[in-house]
Amino acid sequence: MNGGTVLVRQAMILALDEAERILESGDILIRDGVIEAVGMVPADAAATADRVIEARGLLAVPGLVNAHMHSQSGTMAGFADRLSHPAFMWLTQAHTSRRTPDEIRLAVLLCATQMLQSGTTAAIDHFPGQRFTMAEMDAVLAAWAETGMRATLGMRFFDGDFGDIVPAGAGLPPELAAAAASVDILKPHPLEALREEMPEIIRNWHGHAGRIGVFPAPSNPDRCSDAALVFCAELAEQHDLGIHTHLLETRAQAEIAARRYGTTTVEHLDRLGVLSGRWSCAHCLWLTDADIARMAGHGVVAVHNPESNARIGAGRMRTPDMLAAGVPIALGTDGSGANDNLILQEAMRAAALLHRADLPDRTRWVSARDALRMATEGGAKALRLEGRIGRLAPGFRADLALYRLDRPWWVPVNDPVAQLVFAETGAAVSHVLVDGCLVVEDGRILTFGAAEALAEMRDRIGSLKRRNADLFAAAEAIARAIP
């Protein structure tokens, strides 16, 4: 917990509170990491603040929450255009496997640099893409702690196979099947090992520094045994955690569920007795009407990733239908391999615009306020921090960003919500606070050497690709064989 008081003075304030207040000029008083007052701050409290941030000409906004990203793919911006989802997944394995603890750390810092400098203060990292080791989990969690961000690690695992990226009937030539087996890049994680490792990771890291969380995180329910899904639900209940997963990102996954369960993945989770408001599910593209109703009834959070879904042609989330049904929706960028950057403002804009041409009834359009709510309140719910982050209001943790209003897209300020969603790119962010601690000042990250980390990662990429030459050869051959 942070000690002392911080006063943000004379900012325009977009509170996103119950009253939807927009203050032309006001103060924010923060004590021990918690917002104590917004608007009028008593003179005696203001006079005794340990730190004052002069914010005239700046807009204060709750920190954004990236509710689905992958730190392991932080080095993959600009990666391979016009790939099928199976080809994308195989090549991603080659890019992200066999990293050293230091390379894992540098990838996290690369991701954190993008997010902090564009006003994102919290994230769910669905990590890694392969069977994890304890050393890898310690490395990634230590790196997130170093960034100063609020971060939850989704301990991504699968104890079954990746049937959705080697579709039934694909008929891989024997030599390619042998190549895939020889490099062993998608080795299942035995449930017996998970029962030992996950609780230890939770004990060591969940709640660390008041900012780090740990969730069980199936790669995809269809890649996991029912026993593993039940274990996740029991573990989450025991430790009061969320559960994070991919859900129905592709048509192939929906077809696999129909063959395997005789129903949809969502209905299967419900029948299994594990579906609850603890779940946050990325993508959610191939849902039936009954699936949507089930998710709404259980309070399951759908994490919308509009840009990555479009980039790899996976489909479109039925956002207007889900909002109308009452499904809680958060927002994610996905990883840099599928989306190229982690700029949540771009995801907000995409979420708001995605369905408009298809909907003559403009009352069903996703509004700018809807999109901003996904990136704040929705993300807080995905993190299981609802009522603690996502607003600038007394009692909430002090996660916020200050935007410069002298940037061209802010002159004049016509509607702060609409401009934040439709005009802002993250480039106007000046200051960022997480838990009341200043982590970005005048655009410069204070918690780690961003320039040095980026330069070091740039130097490491050649070595990583040489180390994984066999993976690249196998993945590229398999990708060519699977249209």
Does any domain span residue 342? Answer: yes
Q: How confident is the model at residue 177 (pLDDT cuts 50, 70, 90)?
A: low
Looking at the fold, whether 221 and 119 belong to one and the same domain comes out as yes
Average pLDDT over residues 195-212: 98
CATH of the domain at 14: 2.30.40.10
* Structure tokens, 69: 């990203």
**One-letter identity of residue 8:** V
**One-letter identity of residue 153:** L
- Of 25, 18, 32, nearest in space to 60 by CA: 25
Does any domain span residue 70? Answer: yes
Does residue 13 contact residue 60 with C-beta atoms inside 8 Å? Answer: yes
Looking at the fold, whether 153 and 259 belong to one and the same domain comes out as yes
Does any domain span residue 437? Answer: yes
Residue where the block lists tokens 């594990």: 274
Does any domain span residue 319? Answer: yes
Rounded CA gap, 466 and 406, in Å?
46
The total number of structural domains in the chain stands at: 2
E-strand stretches of 40-76: 51-54, 58-62, 64-69
pLDDT at 106: 97
Looking at the fold, whether 428 and 295 belong to one and the same domain comes out as no
pLDDT at 176: 65
Last residue of a domain, one of 382, 399, 417: 382
Which tops the pLDDT comparison, 51 or 43? 51
Does any domain span residue 480? Answer: no
Rounded CA gap, 170 and 256, in Å?
14
Is the predicted pLDDT of residue 167 greater than 50, yes or no? no
Does residue 40 contact residue 46 with C-beta atoms inside 8 Å? Answer: no
Does any domain span residue 68? Answer: yes
Does any domain span residue 157? Answer: yes
Average pLDDT over residues 38-46: 88
Looking at the fold, whether 56 and 68 belong to one and the same domain comes out as no
Which tops the pLDDT comparison, 365 or 182? 365
Rounded CA gap, 153 and 70, in Å?
10
Looking at the fold, whether 362 and 417 belong to one and the same domain comes out as no
- Of 277, 330, 275, 332, nearest in space to 302 by CA: 330
Least confident range from 82-96, 132-146, 346-360, 408-422: namely: 82-96
C-alpha distance from residue 189 to each of 195, 225, 236, 367 (Å): 11, 11, 19, 42
Does residue 17 contact residue 396 with C-beta atoms inside 8 Å? Answer: no
Is the predicted pLDDT of residue 175 greater than 90, yes or no? no
58-62/212-218 β-pairing: unpaired
Rounded CA gap, 62 and 399, in Å?
6
> Sheet harboring 120-127: ordered strands across?
64-69, 120-127, 150-157, 212-218
CB atoms within 10 A of CB 199: 14
Helix ranges (DSSP H) in 299-432: 306-311, 319-325, 336-339, 344-353, 368-373, 379-382, 416-422
* Structure tokens, 108: 């996290």
- The whole-chain average pLDDT of the chain stands at 94
pLDDT tens by residue, 216-274: 999 999 999 999 999 999 999 999 999 999 999 999 999 999 999 999 999 999 999 99
Looking at the fold, whether 31 and 48 belong to one and the same domain comes out as yes
Looking at the fold, whether 68 and 20 belong to one and the same domain comes out as no
Does any domain span residue 465? Answer: no
Is the predicted pLDDT of residue 330 greater than 90, yes or no? yes
Average pLDDT over residues 129-139: 96
pLDDT at 162: 76
Average pLDDT over residues 322-335: 98
Rounded (10°) angle between helices 226-239 and 265-272: 60
Looking at the fold, whether 158 and 302 belong to one and the same domain comes out as yes
Average pLDDT over residues 437-452: 97
Looking at the fold, whether 184 and 38 belong to one and the same domain comes out as no
Average pLDDT over residues 430-455: 97
pLDDT at 171: 57
Looking at the fold, whether 421 and 328 belong to one and the same domain comes out as no
Q: Exposed (0-12), middle (13-18) or buried (19+): which is 361, by Cβ within 10 Å?
A: exposed
437-441/429-434 β-pairing: antiparallel
pLDDT at 472: 86
Last residue of a domain, one of 382, 399, 425: 382
Residue where the block lists tokens 């020889």: 182
CATH of the domain at 291: 3.20.20.140
C-alpha distance from residue 300 to each of 243, 280, 330, 371, 470 (Å): 10, 6, 10, 18, 40
Looking at the fold, whether 191 and 223 belong to one and the same domain comes out as yes
Rounded CA gap, 3 and 5, in Å?
7
Is the predicted pLDDT of residue 153 greater than 70, yes or no? yes
Looking at the fold, whether 334 and 272 belong to one and the same domain comes out as yes
CB atoms within 10 A of CB 227: 11
pLDDT at 436: 97
Last residue of a domain, one of 362, 382, 402: 382
pLDDT at 1: 46
pLDDT at 475: 78
Rounded CA gap, 432 and 423, in Å?
19
pLDDT at 343: 98
Residue range(s) defining the domain that contains residue 99:
64-382
- Of 242, 247, 248, 195, nearest in space to 215 by CA: 242
